[in-house]
Amino acid sequence: MTTAEAATAPVPIQSTYQTHVADYWNAEENPVNLELGKLDDLYHHHYGVGAVDLSVLDEPDPVRRRERITAELHRLEHGQAELLAAHLGPLSPEDRVFDAGCGRGGGSVVAHLRYGCHSDGVTISAKQAEFANAQARKRGIADRVRYHHRNMLDTGLRSGAYAASWNNESSMYVELDLLFAEHARLLRRGGRYVVVTGCYNDTYGRASREVSLINAHYICDIHPRSAYFRALARHRLVPVHVEDLTEATMPYWELRRQADHLVTGIEDTFLTAYRNGSFQYLLIAADRV
Amino acid sequence: MTTAEAATAPVPIQSTYQTHVADYWNAEENPVNLELGKLDDLYHHHYGVGAVDLSVLDEPDPVRRRERITAELHRLEHGQAELLAAHLGPLSPEDRVFDAGCGRGGGSVVAHLRYGCHSDGVTISAKQAEFANAQARKRGIADRVRYHHRNMLDTGLRSGAYAASWNNESSMYVELDLLFAEHARLLRRGGRYVVVTGCYNDTYGRASREVSLINAHYICDIHPRSAYFRALARHRLVPVHVEDLTEATMPYWELRRQADHLVTGIEDTFLTAYRNGSFQYLLIAADRV
Amino acid sequence: MTTAEAATAPVPIQSTYQTHVADYWNAEENPVNLELGKLDDLYHHHYGVGAVDLSVLDEPDPVRRRERITAELHRLEHGQAELLAAHLGPLSPEDRVFDAGCGRGGGSVVAHLRYGCHSDGVTISAKQAEFANAQARKRGIADRVRYHHRNMLDTGLRSGAYAASWNNESSMYVELDLLFAEHARLLRRGGRYVVVTGCYNDTYGRASREVSLINAHYICDIHPRSAYFRALARHRLVPVHVEDLTEATMPYWELRRQADHLVTGIEDTFLTAYRNGSFQYLLIAADRV
Amino acid sequence: MTTAEAATAPVPIQSTYQTHVADYWNAEENPVNLELGKLDDLYHHHYGVGAVDLSVLDEPDPVRRRERITAELHRLEHGQAELLAAHLGPLSPEDRVFDAGCGRGGGSVVAHLRYGCHSDGVTISAKQAEFANAQARKRGIADRVRYHHRNMLDTGLRSGAYAASWNNESSMYVELDLLFAEHARLLRRGGRYVVVTGCYNDTYGRASREVSLINAHYICDIHPRSAYFRALARHRLVPVHVEDLTEATMPYWELRRQADHLVTGIEDTFLTAYRNGSFQYLLIAADRV
Amino acid sequence: MTTAEAATAPVPIQSTYQTHVADYWNAEENPVNLELGKLDDLYHHHYGVGAVDLSVLDEPDPVRRRERITAELHRLEHGQAELLAAHLGPLSPEDRVFDAGCGRGGGSVVAHLRYGCHSDGVTISAKQAEFANAQARKRGIADRVRYHHRNMLDTGLRSGAYAASWNNESSMYVELDLLFAEHARLLRRGGRYVVVTGCYNDTYGRASREVSLINAHYICDIHPRSAYFRALARHRLVPVHVEDLTEATMPYWELRRQADHLVTGIEDTFLTAYRNGSFQYLLIAADRV
Amino acid sequence: MTTAEAATAPVPIQSTYQTHVADYWNAEENPVNLELGKLDDLYHHHYGVGAVDLSVLDEPDPVRRRERITAELHRLEHGQAELLAAHLGPLSPEDRVFDAGCGRGGGSVVAHLRYGCHSDGVTISAKQAEFANAQARKRGIADRVRYHHRNMLDTGLRSGAYAASWNNESSMYVELDLLFAEHARLLRRGGRYVVVTGCYNDTYGRASREVSLINAHYICDIHPRSAYFRALARHRLVPVHVEDLTEATMPYWELRRQADHLVTGIEDTFLTAYRNGSFQYLLIAADRV
């Protein structure tokens, strides 16, 4: 068995809240996730970054227009996944990485393709884990990339076994002290942790109305930026690169709000939150010391 | 001058968020606050507790029905204010109390009527402060009860000058460490602090969708229950009485949701949040040591 | 085996102080504990709460007078045990509870009778554990209720296996951080912890002479009230109900000081300590989050 | 004015407990303090250290025997004061020292005689302050050595004005965090703090019966040894010398228990506490950094 | 008076160590600082970043070669100062900035030229302060840019008066907790703090021999990277941008080591330290919340 | 097997820094260590304390002079080892001690000879461990005294199995929080920990140039004195004896600097550091509570 796991798998659900989160993701079938993923079988559950090709909106053929918008959004989401993955390395094929809140599994595949490394993804949704494992089998990498129906706060995976780990837009569902304690436990000394997340901006003040509406939409609980750095400091995770991706993600949202076949209804709220300064899209890379 | 204040009044607004909160309360004219207040010139900005007289709903005369519902809700809100005030004492007329987030001023009047004490209320809304001071003048107690357009986190009031202080449903707008630091500074050794608040229930997990909708409605940022006790412990405020008022407040909401002339639209969300266990209505009385 | 314990039982005694405490309770045969317990085989080692029937003092027959006083004190102590047990639930017969500092075992029996749950009691006195197990066998509940000669700070019982736990007047023998760490370890997420304890009142100041005399009497080390809340906050135990039982316990002491056949000599010291405000009888119910 | 004090003297009493402590010392007239002090007008309120001349017990003349015992005990107490003072230096006559809990003033005189420095002593007993100032006037050093009726936790003296400070058996009356915060505020960077104190021994466990009896005798609240080091660490006071004086103080107690004209009744309790390992007599010298 | 300072200027020197640091900088006349500064009267005391024009080394004329190397190094140092300044903004001419460890003053001039803002620079070297003020007078900006002979840990400047502040390679001389406490006090809510510093890399382990040699060279005490983030977290300074400038600064050192007229002898040590991974050149921008 | 170790030995090297430290000690063959050790097969890696017999310098015969100097230095180093060992006890032959950073093993032998106890020494240098075990076999105590090629921060030895432990000049190579956590884990409750170390003096300020040169010489990272007390306080290690050995070690260095056949070149730096007050030689004995 290639997975660095303990004998007994822990119980994934520990609270009513987690049940609701699991239910949400077990039921979720948003086109913005499924349609984009189908393009190349890389299913992401996060937003995109980078400059957008707005010409796709001018495509006269309505079917082709949809396809081009879908492809463009997927390109931006993939760019975000690659940006995150670039901060994990260097890694070798012998290394093992941990994908906390892996969703339908795209991030682990990206990391594997880039570095050849082993990956253990964890999701609270049984359906997502099953879907992701099916994808891995289809790609023929199921011996290297595995997805587990677990709780990312208590994975049961082996201490010190991981060279890198990450949360891609999944840290807003959990208590950061519990999350970073688990990453710190799993990472070897010198290992790298990366998080990409929306956070609310303490400089603005407390959570704005828009931030609360996003919380209500996803049943999540967005942390202030300060909470990340306080919790990292408590768990021997030392930042080495911090990048405000707010500007870089706004073109994605501008395009997505105009993609009628993909919108979920939360697009304008994101844009308002970014613009009024209450919300930020942040990447933090930190070392386990 | 009877107010225990510093020479220079601090600037009340320190962040964009606080501007939005002030704007909200400067503009707010909800009947549930104004209509109830008119009954006896006690303007409360909080919810009620206690058993409800449901017969008011059966009142056949529509005008009278409205009046009776209004009076019943006001009775319950007043009961809550009295419950809070009962935990402030004993106090003497020489004592001074601090009303943090005083709104239109009802709480300070209740405390003054009960104990004869001086009160300093603080609100971030200039309009509320003005309204409350006008009420105090009208009652002829303006020399004893004063309202200030200030920031409750930085009041400029005199250290150790207060025998008691409270937050009645206003602590969800601020950072608790800053708030309790200010109460701890203002209270004399042995002074009493009381907070009544909605908090989210850590036993349930993170903030539920309902809690986030309430946050969006009021532009507030409801704390988990645990945050109160951690922050009190850091600021020499030692609980002596903690009471879960969730059951006691539900009748109020049951009635209010049926009061067509008073509803604000958030009533069902509160009831759902209380019922699914994600939200609690809590009273904490603590001593400054 | 129904007990959720580790393979090797930990050594109960770790310090000279603990030896003295164990010696005290191994030797202790106070009538106020034994005579009361004999009434219904519920042996409590704590005080009582509630209104007292003072007419028992007027009973003319001296033998009957003694009996009635004994029964009345037992009724009050039992009332306290029921009050504590009421805050443990709801619990089901499948649930397991942990009784820290179980003495001669009354509390675990009360909890079992109320909820049908399993209980593990722990006491540093070998003699108390033996006595309590004998009682459980006599009642035919030895398969559900077990008592262990262990150290409550290092029980060796199974992590996360308990739905509720408590200390009934036993927390003043130990360091609270070690105690609450063990409760936090044993309780499942969402589990309930209850403590009833005498604490000294930080509002009064440091320990009064009376508090020190009580410490000398029982070889204990009464904590200030603040210490409980600071330590709970450090161990993910969040208060949900706090009740000052000082007034409720004073009638018990008023009766007991007049019970010549039961007094231990410390009665007046308790009454003075309660009356001068230096000492409080407190119940805290908290959730493990 | 030579005293480095603020304009307004703070209120010395802040709690009921402090009232009791002040009352105790206002009323205290133990021969062991007054008779010894009369010998050379150095009134100490602490115990002695060093080898004892037991031949004083064999003195046949009863009056002379008393005198010799008194002188011997005073010699030992003075030796302790000199030991403490030796750790304050080097100091120059321009330096200022702070004597926290100065009692009838002996320690400040010892420091002044040794270094020529200014001293500010603080006591919660008005009578002690008055007595000590009278002594200073009598010695003609009232312009250099002053005693204040103040609270040592809130002296109102000037920040950073002191080159050295100490507590000689007075730290058991106060909360250490508040005490060390005040010393850290008063001492200049690089200043020296010395405490001599009885502490209970964490290695033994919690407070023994004897420790509690000593607490009851003096209305004090003896800290565990660990509490000193934790609180020093929190207040930038770094130990440079720690010495267990338990062995060195036992001869003093052996003599004192046989001094019928001086015993207070607590002598055997001290000896038992020292011998059973539950209590220690400790000197800590630390630097303010 | 335009400076936001308190009535009494604090004493700059508080320890023997600080005396040595002040002596070092009072005596320092390294060509790498003075020769470069002369070019445009911008005197920097920090290293450079960015790609280097190595053709300057091939300049055949020895005098011209020196000039071109000097100019190239200055260009890189200026680039670093501009990079730092870019993270301070946006700022308006009404804003005030604080330059902690200002050296001969270049950084404050750069900030002023960019934003028009007021600046207060602080240096422990009287000679540097004097030099810098002379430069400001020469430029005709002495009413806007002032340098003070103060201790950056206790500036006596006005609380909350600054929109931005920074340390450019000066934080390795001080305790970070004291430093960040002072920045947090001086910055207004929402203000920006920037630090550029060499730090040792916790991922490598403890300080390498090279790091210790650099410490010995400059009489400084380089912090580990982790120390910055822990101390920022304790003082309400929340990172928003973190950039590892190690790669970007190495060309500067490559050139400088070949500049015979400018080398100080520490150049190879820096290069080795950067290359073996024990040392990093880091920029952190953080918000005061 | 007499060693209290876990089944799998941990990997000793965890960082590049540790590799360098191990390399240093694997290669180290300083005469001051080897020549002295040969005298009686007690190989120490620390400095000496106590009064020196300077007459050895006047020995006219050059060979004999070298021998006498060597013997005198060894006597002083042995005196230091005995001083440390004296603070470990009392211990019995059944007790087990832990020697953290054991070097070539002298300290464990000293402890064994004094108390008859078992000892486990740990060193990051494979060569030192091998050498020390060879010595133990030669002495016939290999069944009682064992040396392990391990990391002292993660020894894999058994929790609570040790009655005493120490670091003799080895704590400057590691992070104190990790070190003391391991000692606290290994020591039984009531166990004794002793450290002898050079520390830099916070009273002086930050690390002086001399301290940095010593760091560079040994590739170590000398902690400030304050760091020891803060870290001990966090790990339940309570000081009971602290002694500044600076004066006591200076004669050793005075002699050693004149011992041409033994000097390593760092001697004058040590003397300067001790004399300018920036460096201290400290012994701390603490109890595990």
What are E247-264's pLDDT values in tens digits?
A: 999 999 999 999 999 999
User: In the predicted model, is pLDDT for residue F1 greater than 70?
Assistant: no
User: In the predicted model, is pLDDT for residue A6 greater than 70?
Assistant: no
CA distance, residue F191 to nearest chain D CA (Å):
8
Nearest to B159 by CA among B183, B123, B178: B183
pLDDT at res. F124: 97
Separation in Å, CA A83 to CA A79, A88, A116, A195, A284: 6, 9, 17, 11, 11
Continuous H helices in chain C: 16-27, 31-38, 62-86, 106-115, 126-139, 176-186, 209-218, 225-234, 246-256, 267-275
What are F71-98's pLDDT values in tens digits?
A: 999 999 999 999 999 999 899 999 999 9
Segment D246-255 shows an average pLDDT of 97
pLDDT at res. A2: 44
What are B160-178's pLDDT values in tens digits?
A: 999 999 999 999 999 999 9
In this structure, how many other beta carbons lie within 10 angstroms of the beta carbon of residue F83? Answer: 18
What are B48-91's pLDDT values in tens digits?
A: 999 999 999 999 999 999 999 999 999 999 999 999 999 998 99
The residue written with tokens 């709801």 in the block is C90
Q: Name the residue in chain B with its Cα closest to that of C192.
A: B203
Q: At CB < 8 Å, which residues of chain B contact C?
A: 190, 202-203, 225-226, 229-230, 232-233, 236, 238-244, 280, 287, 289
Cα(C19)–Cα(D205) distance, integer angstroms? 10
Residue D127: is it exposed, middle or buried by C-beta count within 10 angstroms (0-12/13-18/19+)?
middle
**Inter-residue contact D179 to D167 (CB < 8 Å):** yes
Cα(B110)–Cα(B112) distance, integer angstroms? 5
Contacts of C244 in chain B (CB under 8 A): 240-241
pLDDT confidence of B182, banded at 50, 70, 90? very high
Contacts of D15 in chain B (CB under 8 A): 189-190
pLDDT at res. B9: 75
Separation in Å, CA D180 to CA D187, D196, D202, F226: 10, 14, 21, 15
Cα(B222)–Cα(B201) distance, integer angstroms? 10
Separation in Å, CA A80 to CA A46, A72, A76: 8, 13, 6
Contacts of B190 in chain D (CB under 8 A): 14-15
User: In the predicted model, is pLDDT for residue E1 greater than 50?
Assistant: no
Mark whether A and D touch (3+ CB pairs within 8 Å). Answer: no
User: In the predicted model, is pLDDT for residue F6 greater than 90?
Assistant: no
E strands in F104-253: 118-123, 145-149, 162-168, 187-200, 237-244
**Inter-residue contact C50 to C253 (CB < 8 Å):** no
CA distance, residue D30 to nearest chain C CA (Å):
19
Q: Name the residue in chain C with its Cα closest to that of D220.
A: C207
pLDDT at res. A8: 65
What are B34-48's pLDDT values in tens digits?
A: 888 899 999 998 999
Residue E78 DSSP SS3: helix
pLDDT confidence of D222, banded at 50, 70, 90? very high
What are A23-58's pLDDT values in tens digits?
A: 999 999 988 888 888 999 999 989 999 999 999 999
Cα(A147)–Cα(A169) distance, integer angstroms? 17
User: Which residue has better confidence, A162 or A8?
Assistant: A162
Structure tokens given for D166: 């100490």
pLDDT at res. F9: 75
Question: For chain C, which residues score pLDDT lower than 50?
Answer: 1-3, 6
User: In the predicted model, is pLDDT for residue F234 greater than 60?
Assistant: yes
Instruction: Work out the percent of chain A whose per-residue pLDDT is above 70.
Output: 97
pLDDT confidence of D8, banded at 50, 70, 90? low
Which CATH number goes with the domain that contains D20? 3.40.50.150
Cα(A165)–Cα(A186) distance, integer angstroms? 8
Q: Do A239 and E242 touch (CB under 8 A)?
A: yes
Q: At CB < 8 Å, which residues of chain D contact C?
A: 15-18, 20, 173-175, 203-209, 212-213, 215-216, 219-221, 276-278
pLDDT at res. F32: 84
pLDDT confidence of F170, banded at 50, 70, 90? very high
pLDDT at res. E10: 83
pLDDT at res. C11: 79
The residue written with tokens 């006090």 in the block is E185
Q: Do D239 and F240 touch (CB under 8 A)?
A: no
User: In the predicted model, is pLDDT for residue B242 greater than 80?
Assistant: yes
Q: Nearest Cβ partner of F204 from E16, E205, E209?
A: E16
pLDDT at res. B8: 66
Contacts of F15 in chain E (CB under 8 A): 203-205
Q: Residue by residue, what is the 3-state secondary structure of D257-270? A: CCCCCCCCCCHHHH
pLDDT at res. E285: 98
Strand-pairing partners, residue D63, are none
What are F108-140's pLDDT values in tens digits?
A: 999 999 999 999 999 999 999 999 999 999 999
Which of B14, B174, B221 best probes binding to E when mutated, by most E CB atoms within 10 angstroms? B14
Instruction: Work out the percent of chain D whose per-residue pLDDT is above 90.
Output: 91
pLDDT at res. C6: 47
User: In the predicted model, is pLDDT for residue B3 greater than 70?
Assistant: no
Residue D248 DSSP SS3: helix
End-to-end Cα separation, chain B, in angstroms: 29
Average pLDDT, chain E: 95
- Residue A197 has phi, psi (to 5 degrees) of -160, 155
The type of residue at C254 is E
Q: Do A15 and B204 touch (CB under 8 A)?
A: yes
User: In the predicted model, is pLDDT for residue B6 greater than 60?
Assistant: no
Mark whether E and F touch (3+ CB pairs within 8 Å). Answer: yes
Structure tokens given for A128: 């997502």
User: In the predicted model, is pLDDT for residue D7 greater than 80?
Assistant: no
Q: Do F204 and E277 touch (CB under 8 A)?
A: no
Q: Do B221 and A215 touch (CB under 8 A)?
A: no
Structure tokens given for C223: 């904590």
End-to-end Cα separation, chain F, in angstroms: 28
pTM over 0.90: yes
pLDDT confidence of D32, banded at 50, 70, 90? confident
Contacts of E190 in chain B (CB under 8 A): 14-15
Contacts of F205 in chain E (CB under 8 A): 15-18, 20
Cα(C229)–Cα(C234) distance, integer angstroms? 9
DSSP character at residue C220: -
pLDDT confidence of B33, banded at 50, 70, 90? confident
User: Considering only A128-142, C30-44, D48-62, F54-68, which range has the smallest mean pLDDT?
Assistant: C30-44
User: In the predicted model, is pLDDT for residue F288 greater than 60?
Assistant: yes
How many CB pairs below 8 A link A and C? 4
Which of C177, C178, C215 best probes binding to D when mutated, by most D CB atoms within 10 angstroms? C215
Residue C97: is it exposed, middle or buried by C-beta count within 10 angstroms (0-12/13-18/19+)?
buried
Cα(C135)–Cα(A159) distance, integer angstroms? 45
Structure tokens given for B21: 């909160």
Residue F190 DSSP SS3: strand
User: In the predicted model, is pLDDT for residue E226 greater than 50?
Assistant: yes
Separation in Å, CA D172 to CA B189, D149, D157, D201, E205: 20, 19, 22, 14, 43
User: In the predicted model, is pLDDT for residue B252 greater than 70?
Assistant: yes
User: In the predicted model, is pLDDT for residue B144 greater than 50?
Assistant: yes
Cα(C39)–Cα(B30) distance, integer angstroms? 62
Nearest to F68 by CA among F248, F254, F259: F259
CA distance, residue B19 to nearest chain E CA (Å):
14
Residue numbers of the domain that contains C232: 3-288
CA distance, residue A177 to nearest chain E CA (Å):
14
In this structure, how many other beta carbons lie within 10 angstroms of the beta carbon of residue E42? Answer: 21
What are E274-285's pLDDT values in tens digits?
A: 999 999 999 999
Strand-pairing partners, residue D36, are none
pLDDT confidence of E8, banded at 50, 70, 90? low
pLDDT at res. F169: 97
What are E67-112's pLDDT values in tens digits?
A: 999 999 999 999 999 999 999 989 999 999 999 999 999 999 999 9
Q: How many domains does chain E have?
A: 1
User: In the predicted model, is pLDDT for residue E2 greater than 50?
Assistant: no
Structure tokens given for F247: 């004066």
Contacts of C15 in chain F (CB under 8 A): 189-190
Cα(A254)–Cα(A248) distance, integer angstroms? 11
What are E157-176's pLDDT values in tens digits?
A: 999 999 999 999 999 999 99
